[in-house]
Amino acid sequence: MLYQRLQPVWKRLRDSRPTLALSGGLDSMVLLHLLLRCRADTGMPFSAAHVHHGLSANADAWARFCQDFCTAHDVPFYLLKVQVENRGEGWEAAARKARYQALAGVSSETLLLAHHADDQRETFLLAALRGGGTRALAAMPAAAEMSAIRLLRPLLNVSRAELADYARAHAITHIEDESNSNPRFLRNWLRHQLLPFALQRLPQLPQQLDTAVAAAQQDLALLDEFTRSDREYVCADGVFQCLRWCELSELRRRNLLHDFAKQHNLGNPSRAAVYAFERTLAAAPTQHAEWSLPHGTAVAHQGRLLPAPHSLMHPLWLKQPLIGTAAQLAQNCGMEWRTGRGFSADILQHTLQLRPPVPSDRMMWRGTRKTVKRILQEHGVPPRLRPIFPIWCNLHGECLAISGIGVSDAVAVDSGLIPYLPDWENYFIRPNKQPSPAVT
């Protein structure tokens, strides 16, 4: 029986308090029923979350169905409403992206997804039809990490027909999404037209597709081993070093660029984009270059490749100067304080402003009055970041400090406080190895 087949899954879930992504369709309702049986046998608590996309006239009814069922069976329930924005990737892909973003916010360390064996085969075929590589052909893993959440797909070895049989045997009600029968979507065309026709000629096709997916997943695991090794070498000091990257073969360089975009949540680049930037960076690894990606930019500067996501390029202080006590400004902008030659401790209660630099900004720095632009250059801040770098000023607009770099000689004290942004500190500031000469 299906419940007994999944005993290893129940053992893995016992202490994790999982959350089920509940659409209300056949597969997720069957998994919900199985979880209720597991809870009755072991006492394992779990919750359910339904994502309301608002794309169907029936969306409200689906949400009520899921909520009423969970209420009747004493299952904690989350209703997650999202707005789907189609930015050229298609409504299906846009809805999937919004769904995963919403589910990632659910307070659970384990998220259960009800994808089954037929979903896996369709995903493989879609990847093949779209010209996908090993990563795409490997389809969906049974377990994966998403942000701080573990994804589990316990039904990947169970067919849609088996789930339907289980639902009939236990009188499980479910909803039908009308879009699942629309052949306008490529997946539905595969499911309802291509695969039934192919099965007439190739009755072993499901098993052959399963074998192909397993082979692609093994190849991907091997590729990931090489990727981790290359990443550890190239990023040995915590930052992507372009000269070390150049020592790799062309194929491994391209693979590591793709990995860089993934590691820093910059989006999935096209193969052509990876090829083009690989050639640019390999030709001049120590020169400045920028790589535009779906969710940000990769910036090559002074031999380092640095991530600049869209969120970083639009900080709070860019729209207008922020005014408040230093403590309030630091807290609101995610800044921290470290000790060094910096502000005296009473600065935390002083009213200051936080803003991006302007060309006229100057500051007493190591005995010389310098422009903020020059100080940023000397500390390896990439050109793209200089116009938005956070500087601290008094209410007259005079520059008192540059976040993460230091405090003006005019107000600095030994063992003082220096404000800094942790994410920026790790990537965008390089210590100035040639200090400015003192004024004589």
Q: Which residues are part of a known binding site?
A: 23-28
> What are the angstrom distances between the C-alpha of 156 and each of 114, 117, 119, 140, 164?
8, 5, 8, 9, 15
Burial bucket for residue 213 (CB in 10 Å: 0-12, 13-18, 19+): buried
Contact between 354 and 321 under an 8 Å Cβ cutoff? The reply is yes
Cα–Cα dist 179/282, whole Å: 46
Within 172-272, strands assigned E span 240-241
Retrieve residue 189's tokens: 């065309």
Burial bucket for residue 162 (CB in 10 Å: 0-12, 13-18, 19+): middle
Binding residues for ATP, by number, are 23-28
Cα–Cα dist 155/33, whole Å: 13
Nearest to 197 by CA among 125, 115, 123: 125
Contact between 91 and 55 under an 8 Å Cβ cutoff? The reply is yes
Cα–Cα dist 155/187, whole Å: 19
Cα–Cα dist 133/216, whole Å: 9
What are 21's strand-pairing partners?
49
DSSP string, 301-357: ETTEEEEEETTTTS-HHHHS-EEEEHHHHHHHTT-EEEEEEEB-GGGGGSEEEEE--
Nearest to 431 by CA among 380, 388, 367, 374: 380
CA within 13 Å, CB half, 41: 12
DSSP 435: P
Radius of gyration of the chain (CA): 27
Retrieve residue 298's tokens: 């990769």
